[in-house]
Amino acid sequence: MKVKPADRTSNVEEYYFSRKLRQIDQMRSSGADIINLGIGSPDQPPSENTVKRLSEEACKPDVHGYQSYIGVPALRRAFSDWYLKYFKVSLDPEKEILPLMGSKEGIMHISMAFLNTGDEVLIPNPGYPTYSSVTNLTGGTVRYYDLNENNGWFPDIQALRKSDLSRVKIMWINYPHMPTGTKGTPGLFKELVSFSADHNILLCNDNPYSFILNKEYLSLLSVAGAMETALELNSMSKSHNMAGWRVGMVAGSSEYIRAILKVKSNMDSGMFLPLQLAAADALGNPDSWYDAVNIKYRERRITAESIMDLLHCRFRPDQVGLFVWGRVPDSVGSCEAFVEEILLKANVFLTPGFIFGSKGDRYIRISLCADIKRLKEAKDRIAKLNL
């Protein structure tokens, strides 16, 4: 290239799923019927009232202009009511909630708002790869903290306290955890809030999986003192089957929200008004709607677990969220090669755990975002491999 890309791009790679989806598309164009059990993109639709509201509002002639950077009041109030009903957290919709175009974008907004060059960021290993890539893009320094199965996939907070934390600015946590499906606990959150307050660290919980195969709704912001030292991201992608709609939020003290808004207001021009109003409707879905969605996930999970059994993988039965996370047998050499063999020979794509960090290297992940027929077909194909 005649024009050299910015140095920051050398610190990140193309997202693994971006590369893999390109490979899958090439295989499909050659006639292969690929069953994708890798990505957590909900295949069930939003509630009927949500889609109806979007359609009705979009037909109006006066709803197509730029919108407020802070979201319309109806959406902020809906998020506030949702948090109060399910998480028992009272949030001021005017000052303590900022709607976002998805929580992934929020990771960037938060990092740009608070990180200076060289600031360290505590990132879970295994964990969502975007925490690392965004930290690198914004000039921060990635500092991993290990999560281990023998510690219940919880951080060793005492070990962190004994380390040099003088340059740490942000700590990312993600409970219910992706990829392991581990639920957080009030005790864990209380300890983490105390830790972050003691060391002047901004504690950020990425919380999009609370409603999937889980009834124990828990917010970091429910802990006393959390508003002084913490932020929480949430998303409608998983909880409301609206991944492509790109609607999320960040909640926290008004001072933190104002800092994030400085970044956000220079990066977008607000969400489409009918989309915001439809999202507000979705947040009012009754409990029965969430239950119906989870009935299907529960059925799928049984088949996904049977695939894990077929592959001789060990998994915890108490996982929540959109995936089943399992440890491959010791007889497997390379987990990446193991998954690639399944893709090439059975036309079934599973996610190798190494993409979430070194502590995920001996694990694979199966998504529940495929209907039961396709899951059973995937199982039949894998059974024929005699792995």
How far, rounded to the nearest angstrom, does the alpha carbon of residue 26 sit from its chain's CA centroid? Answer: 27
Q: Where are the domains of the chain?
A: 7-45+288-383, 48-282
Superfamily of domain 7-45+288-383: Aspartate Aminotransferase, domain 1 (3.90.1150.10)
Q: What is the pLDDT along the chain (387 residues), one digit of tens a residue?
A: 689 888 888 877 777 778 888 999 999 999 999 999 998 899 999 999 999 999 999 999 999 999 999 999 999 999 999 999 999 999 999 999 999 998 899 999 999 999 999 999 999 999 999 999 999 999 999 999 999 999 999 999 999 999 999 999 999 999 999 999 999 999 999 999 999 999 999 999 999 999 999 999 999 999 999 999 999 999 999 999 999 999 999 999 999 999 999 999 999 889 999 999 999 999 999 999 999 999 999 999 999 999 999 999 999 999 999 999 999 999 999 999 999 999 999 999 999 999 999 999 999 999 999 999 999 999 999 999 977
Instruction: Enumerate residues 6+ apart whose C-beta is below 8 A from 123.
Output: 131, 132, 135, 142, 143, 144, 145, 172
Residue 85 DSSP class: I
Coil, strand or helix at 247? coil
pLDDT, residue 5, reads: 85
How far, rounded to the nearest angstrom, does the alpha carbon of residue 323 sit from its chain's CA centroid? Answer: 12
Coil, strand or helix at 120? strand
Number of CB atoms found within 10 A of residue 235's CB:
24
How far, rounded to the nearest angstrom, does the alpha carbon of residue 278 sit from its chain's CA centroid? Answer: 22
pLDDT, residue 12, reads: 72
How many CA within 13 A on the CB side of residue 233? 29
The rounded distance, in Å, linking the Cα atoms of 372 and 46 is: 19
CA dihedral 338, 344, 346, 347 (to 10 degrees): 120
pLDDT, residue 1, reads: 66
Residue 87 DSSP class: I
Q: Name the token pair of 344.
A: 């090439």
Phi, psi of 146 (to 5 degrees): -80, 140
Query: Which CATH number describes the domain made up of 48-282?
Result: 3.40.640.10
Domains 7-45+288-383 and 48-282 share a fold: no
CA dihedral 125, 369, 44, 250 (to 10 degrees): 10
Q: Name the token pair of 295.
A: 């009935």
